A and B are shown apart, each in its own frame.
Chain A
Amino acid sequence: EAGVAQSPRYKIIEKRQSVAFWCNPISGHATLYWYQQILGQGPKLLIQFQNNGVVDDSQLPKDRFSAERLKGVDSTLKIQPAKLEDSAVYLCASSSVGGGEQYFGPGTRLTVT
């Protein structure tokens, strides 16, 4: 069984630029999560999808972050414009059901200069 795929693995941008991350969950997993993990901290949930609907985006900075999962499979997370404090690893995870065991991708390490 293929795991959760993410790309790119690394990204370096200047502040005020835009960036997008892509995630392909495990086949058949209805729930998809995006997390932000700042160095030395645990993952913080940004947004949770159930199929193509948003279940929780309470911690998503909506003035600059957006995410979509149009066909209930792949998802993209966008930051526009980026700030220095957005430097972090962005993890995508999926589970077969909400609250079920999550399988994580390798993450995308974003550096904003």
Chain B
Amino acid sequence: QVQLQESGPGLVKPSETLSLTCAVSTYPISSGYYWSWIRQPPGKGLEWIGNIDHSGSTNYNPSLKSRVTISVDTSKNQFSLKLNSVTAADTAMYYCARSAFGSYSDYWGQGTLVTVSS
């Protein structure tokens, strides 16, 4: 059973940078798979943000690409999300997940709510 746990500030001011980390347990990131960030605004659907593999190769949602950076630290078995120049529209539950190439996400973190407000 792969376990993922998101952490980071629950409140971010407009125009600042949202930073989250996902700690992975019981499965080495270096063993494979893609590691994804997915978000869900309150009352709305899921939105794929992007993913990264163990080598650091990334793919991003075109609508967020200019503001997003996903990185991986295999020594700590964790990966991170940075989203800059945030606005109220970035308020959402943010999930990290393990994903097969191009395909499904089989293990998810519990999610962390990030609110953008001054």
**A is bound by B:** no
